[in-house]
Amino acid sequence: MKTFAIIPVSRFSNAKTRLSPTLTPLERENLLKSMLKDVIKVLNQVVSDVIVVSSDENVLTFVKDAGAIPLKEKGATDLNGALMQAINQCSSSCDRVLVVPSDVPLIRKSHVEEILDMGKDFDVVVAPSKGGGTNALLCPTSNLEVKFGECSFFRHMKEAELRGLSWGIYDSFYMSLDVNTAEDLGEIMIHGSRTETKKFLKETGLEVISNHGSERLRIKRIKR
């Protein structure tokens, strides 16, 4: 089976606004760029092509240099609309697609290989995020609508059932970690060995501290 990967990316200027208390706007943009490099690099080792869909020309230029195929989003649409545009465009060139967000920098080649291997037994494979979202979705290029958003993990399974498609769950700590909070940054710094993302965070002057409060990890900026 020929598989393409699709990564949806919003505008660099809107990158990771929930991290505003921890990172400056420029740092948040560079964080997203680092995560994109990590995700694209891993996917390129396994799938036939990696496509990034975005409405931001700066994103499209950046990912072309990073080894992905840029695809301009057409018209004003939401995340799922942009993804369906990309899937429809891929449908004549591949058998299935693997949708991966831009903010899962702990993804590894083995994860992708295992997800594709599960695709031999299931029509749809879903890797859940720790918050109930979807951090990887392997699906056919037709007969399914993507349902990214709140609690999308459950919505994708329900969508598969409604379409008469079999589904399987790929459960992985590393794949479950997307980056939205300072605590997530701490996890990257602990587990993100040899990633561009960890390298960037260290260069930014952040260090991770164990915490016994409501959050397990705390991020501190080193004074220079």
Examine the domain organization and report whether 13 and 73 are in the same domain. Answer: yes
Domain identity same for 188 and 172 = no
pLDDT digits (tens, 9 = 90+) for 201-223: 999 998 888 766 666 777 888 76
Residue that is written with structure tokens 């840029």 in the block: 70
pTM, two decimals, is: 0.94
166 in the same domain as 186: no
Q: Over 70: is that where the pLDDT of 224 sits?
A: no
The parent domain of residue 200 ranges over 182-221
pLDDT (mean) for 141-155: 95
Tell me how far apart the alpha carbons of residues 25 and 22 are, in angstroms, rounded to a whole number.
10
Residue 215 has a pLDDT of 64
Supply the mean pLDDT for the chain.
94
Examine the domain organization and report whether 117 and 215 are in the same domain: no
Together in a domain, 120 and 213: no
Percent of the chain with pLDDT over 90: 87
CATH code at 13? 3.90.550.10
Domain total in the chain:
2
Residue 128 sits in the same domain as residue 187: no
Residues 66 and 95 in one domain: yes
Looking at the structure, tell me whether residues 169 and 189 fall in a common domain. Answer: no
12 and 74 housed in the same domain:
yes
In a shared domain, residues 85 and 188: no
Residues 69-86 as b or e (16 or more Cβ within 10 Å = b): bbbebeeeeebeebbbbb
Provide the residue count of the chain.
Answer: 224
Please report the pLDDT score of residue 75 as a whole number: 83
- What is the structure's pLDDT at 174? 96
State whether 110 and 186 are in the same domain.
no
Give yes or no: residues 60 and 75 share one domain. yes
Q: What percent of the chain has pLDDT over 70?
A: 96
Q: CA–CA separation, 132 vs 154, rounded Å?
A: 8
Q: What is the pLDDT of residues 72-113, one digit of tens each?
A: 999 878 999 999 999 999 999 999 999 999 999 999 999 999
2-48 per-position pLDDT tens digit: 999 999 999 999 999 999 999 999 999 999 999 999 999 999 999 99
Which tokens hold the place of 92?
């004549």
Token look-up 């990696």 returns 50
